[in-house]
Amino acid sequence: MKTLLIIDVQNDFMPDGSLPVAEGDRIVPVINNIQDQFDLVLATQDWHPKDHISFASNHDGKSNFDVIELHGNPQTLWPDHCVQGTEGADFHPDLNTAQFEAIFRKGTDSAIDSYSAFYDNSHLKSTGLTGYLKEKGVTELYLCGLAADICVYFSILDAFNEGFDCTFIEDASKALDDVHLDNLKEEMLAKGIKVLNSESLF
């Protein structure tokens, strides 16, 4: 079953959001255009409580984008974003959500960050997505969304390690750091993860 997983196309990651990804809104029509090419369409939402550990505002004396150590791993401190129930956590209003069969929310535990659609950053908790996909008989997974070099990348990595055949749809994704993404694409290709543009789906 050919499955599309759309990562975090939410208002706070748009150019006028609290944690903007440059030109993040430009991927919305691309994602809308490709959904009919898939048997199953799924999406994720960052869904943080107000006291989330990744928010710089919850650390005295710290600023946005400072890095601390958390659970033995480096943790970037972000501006408050995608707080549960806020407009910033909503999907972009132009995103076609009618075909979404399920939405997986992540980052819901205030004590740990969760970039990947599959696990938190320390792999302590699963979102249940792997089991859902395997029960559906999914083997072929296409991923896109925001931000390409963070949540999309870590979702691809976990999906690959869970045994799925993974493809990154480059023009349906935008990165916080394009240079970093170029390095990550080389890493993905070396692992056997495919990278393509949406026109290849038609």
pLDDT tens-digit readout, 43-58: 999 999 999 999 999 9
* pLDDT score recorded for residue 124: 87
| 50 classed as catalytic | no
Q: Name the active-site residue from 46, 106, 113, 144.
A: 106
**CATH number 3.40.50.850 given to 2-49+91-201:** yes
* pLDDT score recorded for residue 141: 98
Helices (H), 113-199: 129-135, 153-161, 178-191
DSSP state of 21: -
Q: How far is CA 171 from the centre of its chain?
A: 15
> Can you give the C-alpha Rg of the chain in angstroms?
16
* pLDDT score recorded for residue 187: 96
Q: How far apart are CA 70 and CA 169, in angstroms?
A: 31
CB-CB contact of 145 with 27 (8 Å): yes
As a whole number of angstroms, the longest Cα–Cα distance in the chain is 51
| 174 classed as catalytic | no
Structure tokens at 146: 């925001």
* pLDDT score recorded for residue 72: 84
| 80 classed as catalytic | no
Q: How far apart are CA 174 and CA 183, in angstroms?
A: 14
Tell me which residues of the chain have a pLDDT lower than 50.
none
* pLDDT score recorded for residue 116: 97
Q: Domain coordinates of the chain in residue numbers?
A: 2-49+91-201
CA distances from 63 to 6, 15, 71 (A): 30, 20, 20
Q: Name the active-site residue from 151, 158, 166, 185.
A: 151
Which residues have CB under 8 Å from 64's CB, separation 6+?
Answer: 56, 77, 78, 79
Q: Name the active-site residue from 8, 120, 149, 158.
A: 8
